[in-house]
């Protein structure tokens, strides 16, 4: 449910740093240029094909006749100001977390369409607290680029989503509640040989492989005291989680050598490895006093050299490097004219 954090900042959607001449804010030194891709709705989690020629992303743009998130395919040079991209999900239910397979001809994603063709409700508040819904109707599917489902990879009771693929295409990592908690699992590309790799109480999700496939980076909540544990379990029993306190964790791809990478406070999430494999780019509001802004930061794998990358006053998240390391796709509230729109941007990257 990574995309749902967008709604946390819907009331903070204007940045005084924006101007008509540039989409790059002051001190954003890692960006050579930025191109806006989408222009309306909530657009997020844009992931590159292995040849960097295409991206797949999710959107709920009302102008595209959508009631909730569906998956769309684009060429890396496309812009959708007046046109509509190609939908590659069923158009039914709610979808999340798509990712290309190495053949560049198929992708995986999670969808609720088999249980209900309608969009499920999206509760965002529970007793005054911000929450994410964890739909037990989510399962993971493989589809071709024409939108034809070629296989169903999960068939367990509970939430199965947030799936990404290893660089050589042999393993998928995903989040599941099949054991009663939100833990990480791996499976073969055909859905076989499912193995649980995290075991501590808390929400483990949004995992990505390192460029060499040896490590995983992910976000996690770790309720510690009796009150936090009780609250976490009560919300989870209702299909909800509270994602306002999360840190980044790193482990080997089989779950070994698990350790906490950040200890910043607030919400640290949507991590993605730098192409070197030696750093991680992520979104955080740890410097915020009222829950916003979210900006992009980079940190070494030893937890040192934390560097701020973006300098917005609202929301930057979902950073994803192209495989050649030359471009960065991310989602942002910049240039939204004071609306509630979160759009996809592609920046030329320089280290």
Domain locations along the chain: 2-349
Q: Which pLDDT value is given to residue 2? A: 47
Among the ranges given (9-18, 122-131, 145-154), the one the predictor scored with the smallest mean pLDDT: 9-18
Could you report the per-residue pLDDT of 241-280, keeping only the tens digit for each? 999 999 999 999 999 999 999 999 999 999 999 999 999 9
What's the CA gap between 338 and 157, in Å, rounded?
41
Q: Which pLDDT value is given to residue 340? A: 87
Sheet architecture: strand order including 268-273: 268-273, 279-284, 295-300, 307-308
CB of 282 within 8 A of CB of 301? Answer: no
Among residues 47, 45, 105, 38, the alpha carbon closest in space to that of 69 is found at 45
In this prediction, residues 302-306 reach a mean pLDDT of 97
CB of 163 within 8 A of CB of 108? Answer: yes
CB of 330 within 8 A of CB of 318? Answer: yes
pLDDT band at 89; cut points 50, 70, 90: very high
**Burial grade of 29 (CB within 10 A; 0-12, 13-18, 19 or more):** exposed
Report DSSP state, residue 273. E
Neighbours of 15 (CB within 10 A): 20
Please provide the distance, in angstroms rounded to a whole number, between the alpha carbons at the two ends of the chain. Answer: 30
pLDDT band at 58; cut points 50, 70, 90: very high
User: Which residues make beta-bridge pairs with 42?
Assistant: 342
Among residues 187, 180, 88, 194, the alpha carbon closest in space to that of 134 is found at 180
Q: Which one is the CATH code of 2-349: 2.120.10.30, 3.40.50.1820, 2.130.10.30, 2.160.20.10? A: 2.120.10.30
Q: How far, in Å, are 83, 94, 124, 296 from residue 282 at the CA level?
A: 30, 25, 23, 5
Which residue in this structure is represented by tokens 């833990």?
183
Q: Which pLDDT value is given to residue 13? A: 37
In this prediction, residues 218-232 reach a mean pLDDT of 96
Structure tokens at 97: 């977390």
High-pLDDT (> 90) share of the chain, %: 89
Q: Which pLDDT value is given to residue 335? A: 94
For 220-264, the DSSP string reads E----SHHHHHHHHHHHHTTEE-TTSBEEEEEETTS-S-EE----
Residue 291 has pLDDT above 90, yes or no: no
Residue 121 has pLDDT above 70, yes or no: yes
Residue 15 has pLDDT above 80, yes or no: no
Residue 111 has pLDDT above 60, yes or no: yes
pLDDT band at 4; cut points 50, 70, 90: very low
How does the average pLDDT of the chain come out, rounded?
92
What's the CA gap between 213 and 210, in Å, rounded?
5
Q: Which pLDDT value is given to residue 124? A: 73
Q: How far, in Å, are 164, 270, 327 from residue 5 at the CA level?
A: 19, 10, 24
Q: Which pLDDT value is given to residue 209? A: 98
- Phi first, then psi, for residue 107 (nearest 5°) are -145, 160
pLDDT band at 1; cut points 50, 70, 90: low
**Burial grade of 167 (CB within 10 A; 0-12, 13-18, 19 or more):** middle
Residue 109 has pLDDT above 70, yes or no: yes
Could you report the per-residue pLDDT of 135-194, keeping only the tens digit for each? 999 999 999 999 999 999 999 999 999 999 999 999 999 999 999 999 999 999 999 999
High-pLDDT (> 70) share of the chain, %: 94
CB half-sphere exposure, 303, CA atoms < 13 A = 10
Q: Which pLDDT value is given to residue 67? A: 92
Neighbours of 56 (CB within 10 A): 25
What's the CA gap between 5 and 334, in Å, rounded?
16
Helix (H, G, I), strand (E, B) or coil at 106: strand
CB of 269 within 8 A of CB of 2? Answer: yes
Structure tokens at 240: 């909800």
């Amino acid at each position: 449910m990574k995309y749902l954090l967008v709604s946390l900042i819907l009331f903070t959607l204007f940045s005084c740093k924006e101007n008509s001449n540039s989409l790059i804010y002051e001190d954003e030194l890692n960006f050579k240029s930025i191109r806006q891709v989408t222009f309306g709705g909530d657009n997020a989690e844009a992931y590159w094909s292995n040849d960097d020629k295409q991206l797949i992303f999710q959107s709920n743009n009302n102008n595209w006749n959508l009631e909730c998130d569906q998956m769309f395919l684009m060429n890396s040079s496309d812009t959708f100001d007046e046109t509509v991209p190609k939908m590659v999900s069923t158009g039914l239910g709610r979808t999340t977390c798509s990712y290309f397979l190495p053949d560049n001809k198929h992708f995986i994603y999670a969808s609720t369409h088999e249980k209900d063709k309608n969009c499920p409700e999206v509760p965002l508040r529970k007793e005054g607290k911000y929450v994410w819904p964890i739909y037990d109707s989510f399962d993971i599917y493989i589809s071709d680029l024409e939108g034809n489902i070629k296989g169903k990879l999960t068939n367990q009771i509970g939430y199965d989503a947030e799936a990404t693929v290893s660089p050589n295409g042999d393993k998928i990592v995903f989040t599941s509640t099949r054991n009663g908690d939100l833990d990480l699992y791996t499976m073969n590309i055909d859905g076989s040989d499912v193995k649980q790799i995290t075991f501590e109480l808390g929400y483990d999700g949004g995992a990505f492989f390192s460029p060499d496939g040896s490590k995983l980076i992910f976000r996690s909540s770790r309720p510690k005291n009796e009150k936090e544990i009780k609250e976490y379990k009560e919300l989870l029993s209702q299909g909800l989680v509270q994602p306002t306190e999360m840190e980044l964790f790193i482990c080997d791809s089989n779950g070994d050598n698990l350790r906490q990478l950040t200890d910043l406070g607030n919400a640290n999430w949507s991590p993605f490895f730098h192409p070197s494999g030696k750093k991680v780019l992520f979104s955080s509001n740890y410097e915020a006093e009222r829950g916003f802004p979210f900006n992009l930061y980079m940190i070494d794998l030893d937890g040192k050299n934390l560097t701020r990358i973006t300098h917005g006053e609202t929301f930057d998240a979902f950073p994803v490097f192209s495989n050649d390391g030359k471009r960065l796709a991310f989602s942002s509230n910049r240039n939204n004219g004071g609306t509630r729109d979160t759009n996809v941007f592609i920046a030329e990257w320089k280290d």
